[in-house]
Structure 1
Amino acid sequence: MSPTISPVLVFLLLSLHQSICSSAHDAASARSFSLCLAIHGVSNFSLPASPSYNTTLNFSIRNLRFTLPDVTRPAAIVLPGSKEDLQRAILCARNSSLAIRVRSGGHSYEGLSYTTENHVPFIVIDLMNLNRVRVDSVSATTWAEAGATLGELYYAVGRSSRSLAFSGGSCSTIGLGGVISGGGFGLLSRKFGLAADNVLDAVLVDPNGRVLDRSSMGEDIFWAICGGGGGSWGVVYAWKLRLVPVPHNVTVFIVDRTGPVEYVAGLVHWWQHVGPNLPDKFYLSVYFPTGSSDGNVSISFEGQVLGTKQQTLSVLSQNFPMLGVTESDLSEMSWVESTAKFANVGTVSDLSNRSPGTNSYTKSKSDYVKASISRHDMVEIVRYLSAGPPGSIILDPYGGAMARIGSGATPFPHRAGILYGIQYTVYWGQSDQARANEYIIWLRSFYTYMAPHVSKDPRGAYVNYLDLDLGGNNWTHPTGGSSMEAVARARSSWGAAYFGNNFNRLVSAKTTIDPSNVFNNAQSIPPLY
């Protein structure tokens, strides 16, 4: 009688064989890549066996979810020091059949700048050494390399002139390569639009290693890189940015309020009618931590005004008297000093420190609100939040310039008709790692609970707050793999949420600049084959 072999055993043996072959192929690709770099004079790179590998990889990982053992790690990390190094890294990766991920500041909410799907072998091009900023205060412009952080840009602008600023976000360690690629909403956006609205030119290294400026890449590609999301088009080497005028001093404040659910809900309910309708020079957001203490909940109103304390107090007293802002709540300082305050760093010089500080495990989602939520419903929302795990929601006011810029001016479509954006986040430390799934489930449940109150058809989301719950591409090879079906899947899920009616134009631009899908990630724009 012949012995029988279990089908399960056969499957395990085949899987083991495939795994061994795959590992051998990946190792060969990594050797080919490192040899290619060395031949072409690129020396600043780390392989998994290098002493610097772990430090280099982990330095810019802001979300500790992507340091866990089940996350695929890159075959190499390259830190180009020049445009030529960047070109060579791209071409060597292509020649070695390795996927490319590009990291600027490491703030990708889903780690897409330094992870891959389906264990596809990949390398990371980390731009942190391409961080030079050159400010021309006479023309009110700056050329900034894409590896510079917002803090490094703000510091350079502040040193150049007290009366110039840039319209970007508040976190000082975010990289320019990522934040501008996704739009870049910030405290000046109600007055001057997004970061991407203030891009005048760019230098892009495309999948073939060509160096293109706005003229040579063409307006469709330039449009796509200014808000169409990172990791799809090539690597932006540098941005030419418009600087905007600000007064000698701006007014800033953070007003904390604590009380019963009904009281706090009343403040938020009225804020909906105030924040999006204040004069353009006002930014007034809401920070709402989850949880409660002794039956009370807390909330913070954070503001920046391009004007004096007296002007600020007059407008807020008239439009938001129940907030009870007093002159002692207000401070006047230079714009660059205000960026240090909202970045929660000690001094202006600390803006240029890109060290990550304390990181945590996080998961985030986003929404847009087009119609004010009723007071009754706001009470129930606040009550829901009061029972939540560690986390927060942030409400960012739109209106002003955000409503005047057309929805197709850049790929970022969330313009006229948006009252405010919402960012939802839960976070935890190592000691709570066993409860991570519980916290994420709560976040998803709250997101579902909010559905009746936010934008619909599609339910909008902000591409700089990446959320893989919306769907993903599921690439299985370093390049290629797209199809009409892949485009349709992306369009009907995350593509519509992030880009609305702009998605089809983005697909056309992708097909022009990167038809082989060299630059891809779980939510990159797929080319149309």
Structure 2
Amino acid sequence: MGNIAIFLYSIVFLSVSCTAIYRVGVDEDVFLRCLSRQSARPGDILQNVYTRNSSKYISVLESASQNPRWFNETDERPYLIVVPVEETDVWTVVSCSKVHQIQIRVKSGGHDYEGLSVRSEYPFVMIDLSNLNSISVNLTEETVWVQAGATLGQLYYEIANKSKTHAVPAGLCKGLGLGGHVSGGGLGTLMRKYGLAADNAIDARFMDVDGYFYDRNAMGEDTFWALRGGGGASFGVVLAWKLKLVRVPEQVTVFNFRRRLDLGNLRLLHKWQKTAYKLPEDLFIRVLIQKVGDGRGNASIVQVTYNGMFLGPAAGLVQLLREKFPEFGLETEDCFRAPAGNGNCTSMPCIMKECYQVSWIQSAVFFSGGKTDQPVETLLSKFKNTRFFNKGTSDFLEAPIPDQGWKMIRQMFLSEDSPIMIIDPLGGRMDKIPEYVIPFPHRKGNLFNIQYLINWSGDNSAQVAEKHLAFKRSLHEKMTPYVAKWPRTAYFNYKDLDLGRNDYHCNYTVAKVWGEKYFKGNFEKLAKIKAGIDPLNFFRSELSIPVLK
């Protein structure tokens, strides 16, 4: 049966197109029988398969996607959803998808801004890895094996259960899936000290298109290189990562300092732009730009929040800020009392200053949107998002934004409902790693990463959605003079189809337009590796790496 399947697959995909020719009306019963026949657990695997006729199908799909923007587009939903409980189940699904000429999409956390793991124009099977979430911490060798379906919150919680002085450099959102996060790079609060999540990946468990399972030694260094930041779903299925644990102090200090975006006084913002990427590696200060109101119907303001963490106790942070940013006016006692500000919010920003000395795991709660006195178990909670919609994109800055740029940003923000810009400083360890070491190339010379987010809720009609999407595109266009150029670059984990997408044939020349924005000169190497590991281009999507022979 296996040889016949491979033969049929080869005939169908000789053209190596991105879409190829799909059988639109594959009978569900036929596909389910294939799963049962191919599986080593024929009676069990079907218990975790959901067809469009299943009573739980919609609930499972809603839980899988963290952005419900596409729920109106029912024709883009999965042909069926499989939620494996064993890694071998993944091969069963891939094998049957090859035989029946159906795409697959692999979902770990479901936070893809374009929803490419949960939707497609063509018939596809979604493999939801959320049940593959085991975590094994080894303090002796200071490593952790984590399956791709585990979330960052689960990983941080398990590490903290074993040690108060170890962590993994990775993102802030507790619901992010490890599989996709590490495969795209993995920015986070520890990156200036230790680099990206992908920089700290030292092994992986990976399945290729033929169902072979590999570790780093077996797959070879080229394939392992591609998986660490090149988008693992283009090459096969990343089932687990082995990550280095890094040392953190027992106590760290987190903080927010809020100001208006005042065009008459941009000195503090300019100082931050010229300083944040050069600060000591123990200090991370990012900026959040938001439109906020007081809840009383008064005019909204554009607020700047200096949000960050110091790897050490409050006294050390205070000493450092007195030297670098005395404008914040931080004293040690501020970190052990209620936040300073206007509790009644009669003027804005309502809370000007807040600071907390906490354990590292409590800092993870803080950065995921919680309060530092909440139990760390909140990192394990899951949120089903059915009402809040968003669109994101990104840029890198090689120079500070000048006055006219901030004036434009303020004007644009006041015209939209809930826009956000998150500007993360790079520098530190990020400058010391050459851009070719992993596919993520945005190293020395890049001062900041910008994440743009547009949010709306309630009404997701085509007219309303297009209004918000048009704002995002306009803001992105108006930022052109101020961001990295030749090419204008972007971060792969903040996917944006407006920056380009594959054509019907997955043509390399076409893909290069978007590929070099995310990967610069590393894109060609990724495409050559793709040709070796998946030459018939089974693992593909609108933003998959093409085959270059």
Normalising by structure 1, what TM-score?
0.90
Q: Deviations over 1:387-419 (max 9, x none)?
A: 333211000000000111110111000000111
Aligned twin of 1:247: 249
Aligned twin of 2:366: 341
Residue 528 of structure 1: how far off its partner (Å): 2.0
Q: 1:296 and 1:83 mapped to 2: Cα distance?
A: 50
Residue 257 of structure 1: how far off its partner (Å): 2.1
Q: 2:404 and 2:364 mapped to 1: Cα distance?
A: 36
Q: 2:31 and 2:321 mapped to 1: Cα distance?
A: 59
Q: Deviations over 1:439-486 (max 9, x none)?
A: 2111111111110100000000000000000111144xxxxx44xxx1
Aligned twin of 1:8: none
Check the 8 A contact 1:149/1:354 in 2, yes or no: no
Residue 112 of structure 1: how far off its partner (Å): 0.6
Match of 2:327 among 322, 331, 342: 322
Check the 8 A contact 1:269/1:378 in 2, yes or no: no
Query: Secondary structure in 2 aligned to 1:231?
Result: helix
Residue 277 of structure 1: how far off its partner (Å): 1.1
Aligned twin of 2:538: 518
Check the 8 A contact 1:183/1:195 in 2, yes or no: yes
Whether 1:392 and 2:404 are equivalent positions in the alignment is: no
Aligned twin of 1:3: none
Aligned twin of 1:175: 177
Match of 1:298 among 288, 299, 303: 303
Aligned twin of 1:489: 510
* Equivalence map 1:264-303=2 (5 Å): 265-290=266-291, 294=299, 296-303=301-308
Aligned twin of 1:19: none
* Distance verdict in 2 for CA 1:432–1:131, change over 3 Å: closer
Query: Secondary structure in 1 aligned to 2:105?
Result: strand
Q: 2:264 and 2:221 mapped to 1: Cα distance?
A: 51
Task: Letter of the 2:213 partner, please give it.
Answer: V
Residue 269 of structure 1: how far off its partner (Å): 1.9
Match of 2:450 among 416, 419, 422: 422
Residue 259 of structure 1: how far off its partner (Å): 6.0
* Distance verdict in 2 for CA 1:356–1:341, change over 3 Å: farther
Check the 8 A contact 1:74/1:122 in 2, yes or no: yes
Aligned twin of 1:107: 111
Match of 1:381 among 387, 406, 409: 409
* Equivalence map 1:26-41=2 (5 Å): 26-39=24-37, 40=39, 41=42
Aligned twin of 1:10: none
Q: 1:209 and 1:305 mapped to 2: Cα distance?
A: 45
Residue 325 of structure 1: how far off its partner (Å): 3.2
Whether 1:372 and 2:393 are equivalent positions in the alignment is: no
Aligned twin of 2:501: 472
Task: Letter of the 1:101 partner, please give it.
Answer: R
Aligned twin of 2:65: 61
Q: Deviations over 1:213-235 (max 9, x none)?
A: 11111100000000002420111
Give ranges in structure 2 of 5+ residues lacking alignment.
1-20, 335-353
Check the 8 A contact 2:187/2:196 in 1, yes or no: yes
Residue 25 of structure 1: how far off its partner (Å): 4.2
* Distance verdict in 2 for CA 1:278–1:24, change over 3 Å: closer
Q: 1:275 and 1:515 mapped to 2: Cα distance?
A: 44
Aligned twin of 2:473: 444
Check the 8 A contact 2:22/2:102 in 1, yes or no: no
Whether 1:199 and 2:192 are equivalent positions in the alignment is: no
Whether 1:94 and 2:98 are equivalent positions in the alignment is: yes
Residue 92 of structure 1: how far off its partner (Å): 1.4
Which deviates more from structure 2 when the two are superposed, residues 464-473 or residues 307-316? 307-316
Query: Secondary structure in 2 aligned to 1:283?
Result: strand
Check the 8 A contact 2:62/2:385 in 1, yes or no: no
Whether 1:404 and 2:432 are equivalent positions in the alignment is: yes
Q: 1:511 and 1:376 mapped to 2: Cα distance?
A: 46
Q: Deviations over 1:167-186 (max 9, x none)?
A: 00000000001100000000
Give ranges in structure 1 of 5+ residues lacking alignment.
1-22, 476-480
Check the 8 A contact 1:135/1:142 in 2, yes or no: yes
Aligned twin of 1:509: 529
Residue 376 of structure 1: how far off its partner (Å): 4.5
Residue 262 of structure 1: how far off its partner (Å): 3.0
Query: Secondary structure in 2 aligned to 1:268?
Result: helix
* Distance verdict in 2 for CA 1:313–1:379, change over 3 Å: farther
Whether 1:145 and 2:142 are equivalent positions in the alignment is: no
Residue 359 of structure 1: how far off its partner (Å): 5.2
Check the 8 A contact 2:313/2:357 in 1, yes or no: yes
Task: Letter of the 1:176 partner, please give it.
Answer: L
* Distance verdict in 2 for CA 1:70–1:92, change over 3 Å: closer
Query: Secondary structure in 2 aligned to 1:28?
Result: coil
Residue 51 of structure 1: how far off its partner (Å): 1.2
Match of 1:127 among 126, 129, 133: 129
Superposition CA RMSD, Å: 2.0
Residue 65 of structure 1: how far off its partner (Å): 1.0
* Distance verdict in 2 for CA 1:229–1:321, change over 3 Å: same
Task: Letter of the 1:195 partner, please give it.
Answer: A
Which deviates more from structure 2 when the two are superposed, residues 511-520 or residues 82-91? 82-91
Q: 1:267 and 1:60 mapped to 2: Cα distance?
A: 41
Match of 1:190 among 185, 192, 195: 192
Aligned twin of 1:9: none
Task: Letter of the 1:444 partner, please give it.
Answer: R
Q: Deviations over 1:183-204 (max 9, x none)?
A: 0000000000000000010010
Residue 295 of structure 1: how far off its partner (Å): 6.7
Residue 86 of structure 1: how far off its partner (Å): 1.4
Check the 8 A contact 1:391/1:427 in 2, yes or no: yes
Residue 70 of structure 1: how far off its partner (Å): 4.9
Aligned twin of 1:12: none
What is the number of residues matched between the two proteins?
Answer: 496
* Distance verdict in 2 for CA 1:512–1:309, change over 3 Å: same
Q: 2:268 and 2:416 mapped to 1: Cα distance?
A: 20
Aligned twin of 1:311: 316
Residue 24 of structure 1: how far off its partner (Å): 11
Q: 1:196 and 1:374 mapped to 2: Cα distance?
A: 32
Q: Deviations over 1:333-355 (max 9, x none)?
A: 11111101111244211212233
Q: 1:422 and 1:101 mapped to 2: Cα distance?
A: 28
Task: Letter of the 1:427 partner, please give it.
Answer: N
Query: Secondary structure in 2 aligned to 1:26?
Result: coil
Which deviates more from structure 2 when the two are superposed, residues 38-47 or residues 183-192? 38-47
Residue 291 of structure 1: how far off its partner (Å): 6.2
